[in-house]
Amino acid sequence: MDTTPLITKDTIAFGILMLTLGFVFYTSSSENKTWQKFYKIVPALLMAYMLPAIFTSLGIIAPEWTSINETGELVKHKSQLYYVASRFLLPASLVLLTLSIDLKAVLNLGPKALIMFFTGTVGIIIGGPLAILLISVISPETLGGAGPDAVWRGLATLAGSWIGGGANQAAMLEIYGYNTKLYGGMVLVDIVVANIWMAIILIGIGKSEKIDKWLKSDTSAIEALKEKVSTFSSKITKNPSLSDLIVILSIAFTIVGIAHLGADAISSFLIENVPAVSDKRSSLSSFGSQFFWMISISTILGIALSFTRFKTYEGAGASKVGSVFIYILVATIGMKMDLTMIFDNPGLILIGIVWMTIHATLLIIVAKLVRAPYFFLAVGSQANVGGAASAPVVAAAFHPSLASVGVLLAVFGYVVGTYGAILTAELMRIVAP
């Protein structure tokens, strides 16, 4: 079927995304009272995410599409905007957002960040089998299939994605041998449900003070970190020269290059020399992911630079440049979301929604019990469900100095992702009809 969008060139689609970001930031900083009231309810970050999703849903742009060529053959096309943003701009933003990090202050945030991260993991592990049990009562036909077609095998790939990331998802596909012809339906559930949940989290950021008050959470450590970074930034703030901006970009993209070089070398070495990594059915296969090593190296080098004089480039706007990259990434993530997909496979979407609701409910209960700030709830969840592409985005939405917390937890998610997903899959195998 021909699904060609109105705009097929990435150059034009990128112009539309930048126009969208310009509109969002212009209106969000406007003194117009109507816009001020609007953005008190809907955060600018959510708008930067949802408007591209609306454009995709209307068929104006698309992350991928099919067309019929002159010979009548079906040809697949894919936009490279998300790839460029996630492989170039994401690691660059991580470098710039960690350039002024106070590692000691981050560590002083205490154990609640890890508590909420593991709560999110447990929520996914128990959410899968519980969702199957509930849906089997309401719509047993949704959970049919035998052998490679068994729905629980497909849901195992979701567990891999929602605890770790794409590499873990691929590992689960290999381990449980789900029918690849049906795999697209699970990818659909992943995209729709994960993006809906991220939108809800972004809405919560705009109301974080009220949520923290309801949770009776202690936000003093987070506020202390934000204050420390802001104070340091204000002391060294200056009007950036062309030289400053070029050096900032040089720092960021030099490390991006090093990260890609290191990621290629490390992943290739491990795949070639460690059988457990090269075997896609192994729980260690995620260590063969270039994306995993790229994110890890970028973050480590960014933290390392925070101990050098390069830290002073925060005064010239390093984190602001990093935030620009983050918002471009957000727009390309939004572009991947087609809102009309919700109606394509309602049964599987319902399973995903129930599953994510259990995950969210457990997070809220534990946050209330340990009085964890909403920041830890949001980032702990996204470090599981969204991984390294969205956890730093959500963390930076609270404050640029907190982005590193998101990426550190997301990297940890890659490590435990396959193990947690295997446990989830085995529990789903037990309860599946």
One-letter amino acid of 52:
P
**Inter-axis angle of helices 374-385 and 151-163, to 10 degrees?**
130
Mean pLDDT of the chain: 84
Whether pLDDT at 211 is above 80: yes
Total Cβ atoms within 10 A of residue 247: 16
Q: What is the pTM of this model?
A: 0.73
Residue spans per domain, the chain:
10-79, 84-431
CA distance 5 to 127: 36
pLDDT tens digit sequence for 214-263? 988 878 778 777 777 677 767 778 889 999 999 999 999 999 999 999 99
Q: Which positions ≥6 away from 227 have C-beta within 8 Å? A: none
The sign one gets for the Cα dihedral 187, 193, 194, 198 is: positive
C-alpha 184: how far from chain center: 20
pLDDT tens digit sequence for 363-372? 999 999 988 8
pLDDT of residue 130: 93
The sign one gets for the Cα dihedral 380, 385, 387, 392 is: negative
Q: What is the mean pLDDT of residues 349-371?
A: 91
Among 26-40, 121-135, 224-238, 324-338, the range scoring the smallest mean pLDDT is: 224-238
CA distance 22 to 1: 34
pLDDT of residue 410: 79
The string of DSSP letters for 202-231 reads HHHHTTHHHHHHHHT---HHHHHHHHHHHH
pLDDT band at 285 (very low <50, low <70, confident <90, very high): low
CA distance 309 to 384: 34
Total Cβ atoms within 10 A of residue 241: 10
Q: Do 54 and 334 contact (CB within 8 A), yes or no? A: no
- The segment with the largest mean pLDDT, out of 48-52, 316-320, 330-334, 352-356, is 352-356
Whether pLDDT at 340 is above 70: yes
